Amino acid sequence: MSSETGTLTFGGKTTEFPVKQGTIGPAVMDIGKLYASTGAFTYDPGFMSTAACESKITYIDGDKGVLLYRGYPIDQLAEHGDFLETCYLLLFGELPTAAQKADFDYRVTRHTMVHEQMARFFQGFRRDAHPMSVMVASVGALSAFYHDSTDISDPSQRLIASMRMIAKLPTLAAMAYKYTIGQPFVYPKNDLDYTSNFLRMCYAVPCEDYKVNPVISRALDRIFILHADHEQNASTSTVRLAGSSGANPFACIAAGVACLWGPAHGGANEAALKMLEEIGTVDNIPAFVQRAKDKNDHTRLMGFGHRVYKNYDPRARIMQRTCHEVLTELGIKDDPLLDVAMELERIALSDDYFISKKLYPNVDFYSGITLKAMGFPTSMFTVLFAVARTVGWIAQWKEMIEDPGQKIGRPRQLYIGSPERDYPPIGKR
């Protein structure tokens, strides 16, 4: 608690509120008693100035373009570690020792299979169903198969549910992909690392062996690290709110998948690639940028802008480097989409509109080009984001459930509807 306090004068009465200072970052004013003392609510629909919780997991400095997972800078984790190491860090708060890492990898690997009846669950979908619709349904359906890990009051059940979701999301994602292309599901193999296992489940076919390209696997593993967590973003806040009611962890993560799907959030990687394809060539960029600046045109530069980052998204830099690495490895010399993306970024970053509004490329701007080069269809881009973000959602859900002060989330409103009125008979309406 800080010695400072905040004061607010309303209705002729001044109320003092305690101020809390975190380890780093903005202080918060605890206004929990505001309504009781003033009879008024705060009003902050987009949560522009609202901290909804305390957390030790991820810190973002939007002005400096800093992203820390449990205090470690994202570029160091992406450079030196792998995705399961980041999962361990986000879940338990510290980097694992070699023995802890080996044990964690072993346990996650042995949870990658899904209940065999899940395969029949997919048969209910049309083949052209968007893979995200399959993911929302199948992640929620996990609670129908794993009753032994839905009691959230039991720490051991919370842990097994967490391990199961980290392990099974790639399997479900690969199944969602295989189903839409009419190929048979591929079972996980325990002698492959997490991301190589996922690539093989996506691209192997029964007719021949599939050899994972280690450069591509390492690049995708790094992309998973970049997408693992991001403080109280929309889908994480959705998971926390769902979890605050006591809903089982599988249902909460399914809610997170649903929220992530939106083009303003995790769906932006799919939207950004479609935007680059719509622009098509470099000489179409100025007209498109004009539309993105036009107040009367709903066009936006997808993959640009961010609620928190008012500087370059640190993940976008690493994403751009990874994009070049993948294209080089795959021998893709001059990808016209990359040319459009690079030129669009150059033009936007020198345009007063984007400079004044502090709009920079975010994590979604280069990811689409990279994932397309890896062979993923656009409809799978947000599915990959969901695979990576599952550990962040779970870590945040676990932190909330283990918070002794946790209460059900129940915001209030500013009512602007009709005052009370009597029911008129239908003949008098």
Judged by the rule CB under 6 A, the positions of this chain that interact with ligand SDX are 46, 230, 233, 264-266, 268, 292, 300-308, 357, 359, 362-364
Nearer to ligand SDX, 115 or 265 (CB): 265
Nearer to ligand SDX, 188 or 392 (CB): 392
Minimum CB separation of residue 150 from ligand SDX in Å reads 26
Smallest CA-to-CA distance from 276 within 186, 378, 396 is with 378
Minimum CB separation of residue 287 from ligand SDX in Å reads 14
Nearer to ligand SDX, 132 or 186 (CB): 132
Nearer to ligand SDX, 104 or 304 (CB): 304
Catalytic residue among 130, 364, 403, 422: 364
Minimum CB separation of residue 47 from ligand SDX in Å reads 10
Minimum CB separation of residue 353 from ligand SDX in Å reads 7
Minimum CB separation of residue 268 from ligand SDX in Å reads 3
Catalytic residue among 82, 229, 306, 313: 306
Q: Which residue has the tokens 């002794």?
A: 404
Determine whether 364 is an active site residue.
Answer: yes
Minimum CB separation of residue 267 from ligand SDX in Å reads 8
Minimum CB separation of residue 231 from ligand SDX in Å reads 6
Nearer to ligand SDX, 178 or 372 (CB): 372
Nearer to ligand SDX, 104 or 376 (CB): 376
Determine whether 306 is an active site residue.
Answer: yes
Residue, CB closest to ligand SDX: 305
Nearer to ligand SDX, 110 or 358 (CB): 358
Q: Secondary structure of the chain in the HEC alphabet?
A: CCCCEEEEEECCEEEEEEEECCCCCCCEECCCCHHHHHCCCCCCCCCCCCCCCCCCCEEEECCCCEEEECCEEHHHHHHHCCHHHHHHHHHHCCCCCHHHHHHHHHHHHCCCCCCCHHHHHHCCCCCCCCHHHHHHHHHHHHHHHCHHHCCCCCHHHHHHHHHHHHHHHHHHHHHHHHHHCCCCCCCCCCCCCHHHHHHHHHHCECCECCCCCHHHHHHHHHHHHHCCCCCCCHHHHHHHHHHHCCCCHHHHHHHHHHHHCCCCCCCHHHHHHHHHHHHCCHHHHHHHHHHHHCCCCCCCCCCECCCCCCCCCHHHHHHHHHHHHHHHHCCCCCCHHHHHHHHHHHHHHCCHHHHHCCCCECCHHHHHHHHHHCCCCHHHHHHHHHHHHHHHHHHHHHHHHCCCCCCCCCCCCCCCCCCCCCCCCHHHC
Q: Are 331 and 389 in contact (CB under 8 A)?
A: no
Which amino acids are annotated catalytic?
A: 306, 364
